[in-house]
Chains A and B, each alone.
Chain A
Amino acid sequence: MLLSGNEAIALAAWHAGVALGAGYPGTPSTEILEAFSELGGRAQWSPNEKVATEVVLGVAFGGARGLATMKHVGLNVAADPLFTAAYTGVSGGMVIVSADDPGMASSQNEQDNRRYAVAAGVPMLEPSSSQEAYDFALAAFEISERWRLPVLLRVTTRVSHSKTVVVPRDRNGPPRNPHFERDVRGRVMIPANARPAHRRLRQKLAEIEAWNETSEFNYLVPGDTSLGIITSGISFMHAREAAPHASVLKLGFTHPLPMKKIAEFVRRMKRVVVIEEGDPYLVEACRAAGLAVEGKPEMYRFGELSVARVRRILNGDTSPEPVPPPGKPPQLCDGCQYRQVFDVLRKRDCIVAGDIGCYTLGVLPPFEAMDSCVCMGASIGVGLGLRHVLPPDQARRVVSVIGDSTFVHSGITGLVEMVYNPPPHGHVLIILDNLTTAMTGHQEHPGTGRTLKHEPTGQVRFEDLARSLGVRNVHVVEPRAGSDEFERVLDACLNSGELCVIIARRPCLMIAKRLKELELTGAQTKDRR
């Protein structure tokens, strides 16, 4: 079968008997849970990656297998549970997929999450193809259960979104029988319990390192001894194509690293080059172990690697790279209701603290109406900070703009901050509510009142939430052509000097049809009740 890396992970999760998969949509990770759900698996979108990881930790505490999926920046949000879950360990297998985005096809940074495996002290696997994504995901659950640790499965855009041939195996592992076993010392991380837990973690990692020296995940592709290449992930494919005659040490289990195996390889080669995308993770580990290896010139730290770039690295070529002609950039859809919002914000010369989603495209011409975009939810905190310190004539023009899914993800605590520490001249928060997570392909979220499978469930109503937190000026408006309602409400809010929340609600054009169908079926289910 021809599967994307994401579909292969989903199939492995299905074959591994995962009891629950949880995550938050984010390119390039989104399709994993969707595919798992389509196979029949139980999958859910959580409000954010931290909650998803905690839910999956609970699943694993209960003795079942759990899968958490997220994009690389999502692991920043989930880092808090991750670091201490490494101390508590797990009973059932727990795998966290981090889908990194070198080259930033659709991300705000290109952080290299291999650093997280080291920082948190969890085992890490890095597949190079869909077959390995499948095999490694299956193996990750076994490893997780053998050492009772969460395992990080680190993929990149090119592994997640490339389709390659997969030969599936059978289901692995015995059927699980979730049940609670009390383990207060192991799971209640007060300092007295956490101190020995940290020692246990280091002991486990030492054992895993010794085991990894002979594990099947790291292997040698024999070739000339004049050039040896140490590599992992998708870079392995580029390297083999760029240097078909080289000896290649292919690392699949990249934390803790099999340093003896690496040293032995280096000793046998005349010249060794480390080929890796992103941060100099492998090359630093080699050098820290006193091994004489070449890394890539700094210019190749930026963006994805490719066969052409690997050839350049091997040739020591640091001449400027050819710049491909620009393609057509994305833009807000024709007829998108957010066009009107950004038109008005531009006309008012607002200082716009923006956020992550389709609407970030409000930064591009013809709107050019966004002044910051940092991370999920940052619009509110950043807007408040600006309001606190800017001179009044500027402060009064500051607005925070956040999408509906992003608001649920990380904006609610920002709203609490707004109520708790209000700036002297108030603030205006605009929630752009198009009733879906549009940017990543129209996933549901707690504000839509529908589950990952588009079935009715509990719903968070933003206007009720804001009012219950004590915001007195809460307005729900529908931005649409021929109506100046949004403009009038915004002016009133900007002039009020008070805390205001404007919910600009209108369904995304691209789901309008689906939404009608869902509402019809939703109404029918209610009638039946």
Chain B
Amino acid sequence: MGQVTNIVVAGLGGQGVLKATDVLAAVALRAGYDVKKSEIKGMSQRGGSVTGDVRFGTEVLSPMVPPGEADFLVVLEPTQVDAHRYLLRPGGILLSPEMIDLDKLANKKGLNVAMLGALSVHLPMLESDWHKVLAEQFQQKFHESNLQAFTVGRQSQQKNPGS
């Protein structure tokens, strides 16, 4: 099935974890990859842990990222980093929310988009594709602040290339 890129986004209910995986999956599809996205929600909307898996490549089979095989772990809530670290493969990249200076975000709720900006630096998809998908997936009124958050996220990686 060729090379598959595995990404897990983790956080708490209400942080936009699933929206972030929707955007990521749509960008990968736009770039011509086979994509699968999986999530466990259920009772998560009551503030519990939420994770979403995105896998893309030439052909993707299982929709779930096997534990210990995530190439990237994107965490939106500092308390959720340790609980999800086991998902990363050795040498995989952890992107944690401390990388983003929340004061720089025009809209504080844009952390999920800022984290996607940080992730995007490590992925082969074009920045213009990300911008198009952000425009498609959110209401128009959020677009400017999302683009700003995305840029803040990208800039965070130029200083701090993951851990």
Q: Which residues of A come within 8 Å of B, CB atoms?
A: 2, 27-28, 105-107, 129, 157-158, 161-165, 234, 237-238, 240-241, 244, 306-308, 322, 324-333, 358, 361, 439, 441
Contact = CB atoms under 8 A, between A and B. Distances in A.
A2 B25 contact: yes
A162 B1 CA distance: 19
Q: Is the interface of A mostly helix, strand, loop or mixed?
A: loop
B61 A105 contact: no
B36 interface: yes
B29 A165 contact: yes
A105 B22 CA distance: 20
Which of A164, A322, A326, A329 lies at the interface centre, i.e. has the most chain B CB atoms within 10 A of its CB? A164
Given A158-B64, A163-B35, A165-B34, 14 more contacts: A27-B41, A105-B42, A106-B42, A161-B40, A162-B39, A322-B67, A325-B83, A328-B48, A329-B49, A330-B46, A330-B47, A331-B47, A358-B46, A439-B43
A330 B35 contact: no
A2 B46 contact: no
A327 B80 contact: yes
A237 B45 CA distance: 28
A452 B54 CA distance: 31
B38 interface: yes
A484 to B, nearest CB: 26
B12 interface: yes
B161 interface: no
A238 B12 CA distance: 27
Contact of B48 (A27, A238, A331): A331
A306 B45 CA distance: 24
B111 interface: no
Contact of B62 (A237, A324, A330, A361): A237
Nearest to A107: B42
B92 to A, nearest CB: 16
Nearest to B60: A164
A164 B12 CA distance: 24
A444 to B, nearest CB: 17
Contact of A164 (B13, B26, B35, B39): B35
B86 interface: yes
Contacts of A28: 42
Contacts of A244: 1
A106 B39 CA distance: 13
